[in-house]
Amino acid sequence: MLKISEYMYGNKVYQKKYVKKNDQKLEELALNGQTPQALFIGCVDSRVLPNLITDTGPGDMLIVRNVGNFVATLEESLSETSTASAIEFAVKVLKVKEIIVCGHTQCGAIYTIYSDLDAVTFPHLAQWLDHGEKVKEKVTQMHGTFQSRDAMLRTAEKVSVSVQLENLLTYPFVREAVEKDRLKLHGWIYDIQTGEISCYDPVEDTFKRLEDVDVGEVGT
């Protein structure tokens, strides 16, 4: 006899609590389709839950998650179409108004790009993490040496977010939407321990605490 998973049981709880309370909204989403206002590009890390940390629900955000919240450049995306296809769908079809690239503290992907990963044992992961080489180069160029490895990793997590924003602009349809003010790009760092989000300011090339940012102030 098939034993029910605890996660399947969780669906029963979801149906009884959330669906019962939000049945009208879910019916509208089923009948009318989705109209999310934002594309959220985040990491697969199980400690980062996009809807939880933004207090959003079904239909509010289109969510893409991959190891390291990396965005391949247009050229690189020709052989890695998953994230690129979601970006294309979000901007061209759903016409989202915002794209959020959300990195986080204690990121395993950033830790690994500075480690000797065995490409024989982890061929797919090693190939994907090659996207982190640009991050490492930029960290070295901008910051040089660090007093500790931890300081370097925390800096790399932030630099990586800015690099992904740069990579987004290699897509002509993204750049055009940004230039015509139809689309805003945002870079975030989520602190796993405190739950705080810091926002990237491209003008000052720094991250600001959420309470220090006006709505709409920070974005490319």
Considering only CA atoms, which of 194, 199, 195 is closest in space to residue 210? 199
**pLDDT of amino acid 78:** 85
Q: Assess whether pLDDT exceeds 80 at residue 52.
A: yes
Give the DSSP letter of residue 191: -
Residues 152-171: pLDDT tens digits?
Answer: 999 999 999 999 999 999 99
pLDDT band at 217 (very low <50, low <70, confident <90, very high): low
Task: Tell me what percent of the residues of the chain surpass a pLDDT of 90.
Answer: 86
**pLDDT of amino acid 181:** 97
Q: Assess whether pLDDT exceeds 70 at residue 31.
A: yes
Rounded Cα–Cα distance for residues 2 and 13 (Å): 20
User: What number is the average pLDDT over the span 186-211?
Assistant: 94
**pLDDT of amino acid 130:** 95
**pLDDT of amino acid 214:** 67
**pLDDT of amino acid 169:** 98
pLDDT band at 213 (very low <50, low <70, confident <90, very high): confident
- Give every strand in the sheet of 184-190, ordered side by side: 61-66, 38-43, 98-104, 184-190, 197-201, 206-209
98-104 and 184-190 beta bridge pairing: parallel
What token pair was written down for 122? 């982890």
Domains (ranges, CATH) in the chain?
23-212 (3.40.1050.10)
Asked whether the beta carbons of 156 and 114 are under 8 A apart, the reply is: yes
User: What number is the average pLDDT over the span 16-43?
Assistant: 97
Task: Tell me what percent of the residues of the chain surpass a pLDDT of 70.
Answer: 95
141 HSE (CA, 13 A, CB side): 7
Asked whether the beta carbons of 131 and 70 are under 8 A apart, the reply is: yes
Residue 118 neighbours by CB under 8 Å, 6+ apart? 126
Asked whether the beta carbons of 62 and 86 are under 8 A apart, the reply is: yes
pTM greater than the 0.85 cutoff: yes
Q: Assess whether pLDDT exceeds 80 at residue 1.
A: no
Mean pLDDT of the chain, nearest integer: 93
Residues 67-104: pLDDT tens digits?
Answer: 999 999 999 988 889 999 999 999 999 999 999 999 99
**pLDDT of amino acid 12:** 92
Better-scored residue on pLDDT, 116 or 218: 116
Q: Assess whether pLDDT exceeds 60 at residue 216.
A: no
